[in-house]
Amino acid sequence: MTSSHPFGESLAFESTRGAAASSPLDAETPLARLLAGNQRFVAGQPRYRHDVNAPAARTAAHRPWALVIGCLDSRVPPEAVLDQDFGSIVVVRTGGHVLDEVGLGSVEFCVSVFGVPLIVVLGHQYCGAVSATVQAIDSGDRPGGLIGRLVDEIEPAVDGDGDPAERVERAVDRHIARTVSKLSELALIRERVASGALEVIGARYQVDSGRVAILGR
Ligand SMILES: [Zn+2]
């Protein structure tokens, strides 16, 4: 399945999309703003400078218009790769964007308090958390302590066939889809999506190119 979307091929899973949500290519939608930011980033022409004047200019109000749920990977800072200013997006980051109760509580906070109309689950190429999960499955040597919880959460996205590096990349996409589904289980998010007030989508960041591709469209 191919997509007319300029950022790449669509992959086969559903995003949750509000019935009244606008087209992603409408210039003023939150998603279009994020994708335009990524285009600027890829082109080497970022608009926003993260100097002290930017946060100082945003002290009066906090009105973010999108939530990005990402991995803690230092190569994927959402504000940079989506070229967004201070005060624009709220971000929840954990290893492999695994969401526990506190993470989900943070998501609910952003939806209920800020009323964000868009949630993007941003996974990425070469994800170390997904790689560690594939390694743990193959070796049978599971990490101890609380790291094991990350592996437990990512494991259902991993299949058993083929080259480990290829399995990691397939698992990255599946894990993004699973995180989108997990969010959709929250009553607050289900209601907002059903009313058209919120859209939840999956996206993948390519470390190699800097590009963000929307999945499931
Ligand atoms: Zn990662």
Give me ligand 1 centre to Cα 57, in Å: 32
* CATH code, domain carrying 160: 3.40.1050.10
Domain of residue 145 covers 30-48+64-215
Q: Which two tokens stand for residue 2?
A: 């191919």
| Separation of CA 96 and ligand 1 centre (Å) | 5
> For residue 126, how far is its CA from the centre of ligand 1 (angstroms)?
7
- Digits of tens for pLDDT over the chain (217 positions)? 333 333 233 332 333 444 333 433 445 799 999 999 999 999 999 998 777 777 777 777 889 999 999 999 999 999 999 999 999 999 999 999 999 999 999 999 999 999 999 999 999 999 999 999 999 999 999 999 999 999 999 999 999 878 999 999 999 999 999 999 999 999 999 999 999 999 999 999 999 999 999 997 6
Task: In whole angstroms, give the CA distance from residue 179 to residue 121.
Answer: 7
* Assigned domain for 6 exists: no
Q: How far is the CA of 140 from the centre of ligand 1 (A)?
A: 21
- pTM value is 0.86
Which neighbouring-strand residues pair with 214? 203
Alpha helices (H) in the chain, listed in sequence order = 30-42, 53-56, 78-81, 101-109, 128-139, 147-154, 164-184, 187-195
Token pair of 172 as six digits: 């990255």
How far is the C-alpha of 61 from the C-alpha of 10, rounded, in Å? 36
**81 found inside a domain:** yes
Q: Is residue 15 part of a domain?
A: no
16 domain-assigned: no
